Amino acid sequence: MSNVVSTVFEHTRVPYGEDGRLVRGIIARCGAPNCEAAVPLPVNLMANGRGMDSNIEWQFIARKLEQKGWRIGKTATAHRCPKCFSAARFSAIRKSGEKPVVNKTEQPLQVVQENAKVMTREDRRIIFEKLNEVYIDGKVGYGRGWTDEKVALDLGVPRAWVKLLREENFGDEVGNEDIRDQINEARKVLADIRALQQHFDGAQRLFVVADKIEKSLAEIQKVLK
């Protein structure tokens, strides 16, 4: 990793992919006072393993993290997490006496992060370990009885944190065993209904034939009288 990136970010190994394997990466930490927010980013695949100009590599990392709402500076103390960056912007707007202009893409982020807790490195570690325990794999999904909501309640953390780490490192929530069991049971019930419908359709045809026979017998009886 370039000297510039090494001084601006903490380089280490971070979880990557559905299996959560550890790969080369960086951790950006918020430089605001008393803020412990941090975010990991895998960088082992950058430039397909080839050397990269330090400024280009910084731009690549900054762009990826800014997509997550971070503000990335040229020094480690200049980084700001989404919450601190948003607070600084609104503080500057209030000092200038201007009304804040919020576009549609920014509004949900600000609403969610208003007065929200910031996920620390320890929070991230605890949630990751729990997910590693209860999440089977990308095809199976959670083990029986577990969901994002259940993990969040079990750990006493926001569901959004669990969802974020699960999507980044494991896979989809919908591959839940209970859901698959319900689908299989519904398919069996549907097959039974289809089978009964076939018998019902056959009985309906017999009723039509019986009506015709009954009418024919009535006509025959009239002739015989």
Q: What angle do CA 27, 136, 44 make, to 5 degrees?
A: 30
Q: Are 8 and 75 in contact (CB under 8 A)?
A: yes
The token pair at 195 is 């089978």
- Secondary structure class of 21 (helix, strand, coil): strand
Q: What is the Cα–Cα distance from 179 to 216, expressed in whole angstroms?
A: 55
What pLDDT does residue 1 have?
Answer: 47
Strands 21-29 and 10-16: antiparallel
Q: What is the Cα–Cα distance from 162 to 88, expressed in whole angstroms?
A: 27
Q: Are 175 and 139 in contact (CB under 8 A)?
A: yes
Q: What residues are paired with 12 via a beta bridge?
A: 25
Q: Are 39 and 81 in contact (CB under 8 A)?
A: yes
What pLDDT does residue 178 have?
Answer: 59
Q: What is the DSSP letter of 43?
A: -
Q: What is the Cα–Cα distance from 80 to 22, expressed in whole angstroms?
A: 25
Write down how long the chain is: 225
Q: What residues are paired with 24 via a beta bridge?
A: 13
Position of tokens 């997550």?
A: 68
Q: What angle do CA 86, 159, 126 make, to 5 degrees?
A: 95
Q: What is the DSSP letter of 143?
A: P
Domain boundaries of the chain, sorted by first residue: 1-117, 119-175, 177-225
What pLDDT does residue 121 have?
Answer: 87
Q: Are 146 and 175 in contact (CB under 8 A)?
A: no
Residues 6+ apart with CB under 8 A from 163: 148, 173
Q: What is the Cα–Cα distance from 186 to 180, expressed in whole angstroms?
A: 10
pLDDT in tens, the chain (225 residues): 445 566 788 888 888 777 777 888 888 889 888 888 888 888 764 444 444 566 677 778 888 888 888 888 888 888 889 888 888 777 776 666 555 555 544 444 444 443 346 888 888 999 999 999 998 887 788 888 899 999 999 888 899 999 999 988 888 887 655 566 777 777 787 787 877 777 776 677 777 777 777 777 677 666 655
What pLDDT does residue 86 have?
Answer: 82
- Secondary structure class of 89 (helix, strand, coil): helix
